[in-house]
Amino acid sequence: MARRLRIIIIGGGIGGLAAARALALRGHEVEIHERASQLGEVGAGLQLGPNAVKALYALGLRSEVDRLCCAPESNVMLNWADGAVMHIEPFQDSFTQYGAPYLTAHRADLHGILMNAVVQNSIHLNRRCLSVESNAKNAIARFADGWQAEGDVVIGADGIHSAVRETLWGKDQPRYTHYLGWRGILPMEQALAAMGDNAKAAMHRKDVVLWRSPAGTALFYPLRAGELLNVFAGKYTDEWAEESWTVPSTHDEMIDSFEGWHPTILRALGEVREVFKWAFFDREPLTRWTQGRVSLLGDAAHPMMPTLAQGAGITIEDAFVLARCLDAQPENPAAALMAYEAERLGRASKVQIMARLQFEDNRKVPRPPPQSKTWIYEHDVTAA
């Protein structure tokens, strides 16, 4: 019988929970330590490419994922001023081509699916990690409340400001991209009624719709089986902003930032009342994720721009591969983590860099053609 490992995961977000689910399915013991006082996700949408959906299905979550997510028909790019169609990428043949659909999800819904799939008493809240260490026999995480957790492995899934990353590789600062966004979620019927009776408004029910300007973007797509509409609008700016999903803003600040944009966009933004702004940060790719019995996962390892819609997807891939590698070499966890790094670092870094390049291309006039995502979507971590 294979050895059962004890895994300490720092961070209870999508990456930490996905890793916990993947490891538990293989019989390992998992502890999740989360700094927040309650476990949950902010109200925002995310997109899941077929590469991510394949991994979620393999984690036994297909019925819940299909029930709560949407499968948009197309990715449509429109001109910010007149609504002219600039580019259409169909999604409807995604299952045939890649083995899984392209989905959109409410971030809180996906987080809830994963949270319900792990053992609830394995989650420990109010645990702010200060440092980690590793030796020949175990790995140790220390917390601000004085608690100490020991296991065979420690995994840092603690986000872009990861304490685990800082312990391993030293302190550095994320790169501010001078892009600032506003987000909200609306009932679909309310949003469509506000946007008016025209062909472009109808597309918001079934598509991922991106309105592009050299000054920024607006993005709309369905959530929760089409009941909700995710609303995002972002602009390039010289002003400084803090990295957070939950910085309060005002309705006037948001609307004024998009003066002169297409009326459909402004009518949709006009319906959003609980307004938050979100500053975009990323980091340079790391050359190493692993030190001894400690490694990184998700945004702790590869925070990226959302322009390829792969932040969550690459993180979910990480989780699946981590569990597979540890299960393959339970007698040598340090070697298992190096195998995990060897499989994941190159791919994650490539997506990280390509997302930044796409972000930079989006501002160019004329805009270069969008990057092909086939190489991302066709990847299948479950087939290795």
More confident residue, 245 or 213: 213
The percentage of the chain sitting over the pLDDT mark of 90, rounded to a whole number, equals: 67
Residue 255 in any domain: the answer is yes
Looking at residue 291, the DSSP 8-state letter turns out to be B
Domain range for 57 is 6-70+100-170+284-383
Whole-angstrom distance, CA of residue 221 vs CA of residue 249: 22
Residue 224 in any domain: the answer is yes
* Lowest model confidence (mean pLDDT) among 35-49, 102-116, 282-296, 323-337: 35-49
Residue 250 in any domain: the answer is yes
Do 45 and 226 touch, CB atoms closer than 8 A?
no
Which of these, 177, 183, 207, 212, lies nearest to 370 by C-alpha position? 212
Question: Of the residues 264, 282, 300, which one is the last residue of a structural domain?
Answer: 282
- Mean pLDDT, to the nearest integer, of 354-371? 87
- Report residue 39's pLDDT band, with 50, 70 and 90 as the boundaries: confident
- Mean pLDDT, to the nearest integer, of 60-88? 92
Q: Give the per-residue pLDDT at 1.
A: 44
Residue 237 in any domain: the answer is yes
- CATH number for the domain harbouring residue 370: 3.50.50.60
Mark whether 253 and 270 lie in a shared domain: yes
- CATH number for the domain harbouring residue 217: 3.30.9.30
Q: Is the pLDDT of residue 94 over 90?
A: no
Q: Give the per-residue pLDDT at 203.
A: 66
Mark whether 204 and 237 lie in a shared domain: yes
More confident residue, 214 or 321: 321
Token pair 């990184």 is found at 296
The enclosing H or E element of 263 equals: helix 263-271
236 is catalytic: no
Q: Give the per-residue pLDDT at 199.
A: 47
- Of the candidates 98, 102, 179, 221, the residue annotated as catalytic is 221
Mark whether 298 and 205 lie in a shared domain: no
Residue 222 in any domain: the answer is yes
Question: Of the residues 282, 314, 332, which one is the last residue of a structural domain?
Answer: 282
Strand order in the sheet with 294-296: 123-124, 29-33, 6-10, 153-156, 294-296
* Lowest model confidence (mean pLDDT) among 55-64, 141-150, 361-370: 361-370
Mark whether 311 and 295 lie in a shared domain: yes
- Domain count across the chain: 2
Structure pTM? 0.95
What average pLDDT does the structure give for the chain? 91
Whole-angstrom distance, CA of residue 244 vs CA of residue 264: 28
Question: Of the residues 282, 314, 348, which one is the last residue of a structural domain?
Answer: 282
Looking at residue 225, the DSSP 8-state letter turns out to be G
